[in-house]
A and B are shown apart, each in its own frame.
Chain A
């Protein structure tokens, strides 16, 4: 398997623009997670899905952020409108069903810069 795939790897945009980040989890993984990493706040869980259904979105910073998972092989994280403070590395991760205990597998990340 190719692992978790994220696109784009780098995104530079201007304040106010819409940004869409994409993720393809590992095939057969039932859970998908979106994280944000910054120097100041470390690694934060934004939202996670189980079988395409959002389970916990308490980490989503505000209404400008939204995430979807229309099917088992694709998820998006959208920021509209974007702000400079959204600049961070966004990671997607996936994991197998509960009880397997293998942990989460992370994608390469998307480095977002909002000017």
Chain B
């Protein structure tokens, strides 16, 4: 059974600081997704990582994938309050069936 673990589960950081959220998974996969969820809202797709070494960046967020280590990271640069949300990684283990297994989520709070 595929397990997807994120850490930390909770992260409180000051504006302007850098930090990284980690996503480990237990089964071989080369497709990983990052989503954002604001309180009381739905999930919004952030990044799609489709191969080993893939790196995607959008604003202050950068995601990378190391399929050999079964690890993805979401790096936050110079955090701002608007980034406060819960971030989920999700892994697709069987190419083509579109089924995703989600991590537990990391609740990020940016403190002014």
Interface residues of A (CB under 8 A from B): 31, 33, 42-43, 45, 48, 50, 55-56, 91, 93, 95, 98-99, 101-109
The binding surface of chain A is classed by DSSP as: strand
CA distance A50 to B19 in the complex (A): 38
A91: chain B residues at CB < 8 Å are: 42-43
Given pairs A42-B105, A104-B100, 9 additional interface contacts (CB within 8 A): A31-B98, A33-B98, A33-B99, A45-B99, A91-B43, A101-B31, A104-B45, A106-B35, A109-B42
Chain B nearest CB, measured from A94 CB (Å): 10
Task: Verify if B33 is at the interface (C-beta below 8 Å from A).
Answer: yes
CA distance A51 to B105 in the complex (A): 30
CA distance A42 to B98 in the complex (A): 19
Does B43 lie within 8 Å of A98, measured CB to CB?
A: no
A104: chain B residues at CB < 8 Å are: 33, 45, 98, 100
Q: Mask for B37-50, Cβ within 8 A of A = 1, else 0?
A: 00001111100101
Closest to B44 in A: A106
Interface residues of B (CB under 8 A from A): 31, 33, 35, 41-45, 48, 50, 88, 90, 95-102, 104-105
Does B48 lie within 8 Å of A101, measured CB to CB?
A: yes
Count: A-B pairs, CB below 8 Å: 54
Given the interface pairs A42-B105, A91-B42, A106-B43, the reply to whether A98 lies near B98 with Cβ below 8 Å is: yes
Does A98 lie within 8 Å of B102, measured CB to CB?
A: no
CA distance A8 to B90 in the complex (A): 27
A33: chain B residues at CB < 8 Å are: 98-99
Among B41, B50, B104, contact of A101 (Cβ-Cβ < 8 Å): B50
Does A99 lie within 8 Å of B48, measured CB to CB?
A: no
Among A45, A93, A98, A102, contact of B96 (Cβ-Cβ < 8 Å): A98
Does B88 lie within 8 Å of A43, measured CB to CB?
A: yes
Does A106 lie within 8 Å of B42, measured CB to CB?
A: yes
A105: chain B residues at CB < 8 Å are: 45
Closest to B45 in A: A103
Does B102 lie within 8 Å of A42, measured CB to CB?
A: yes
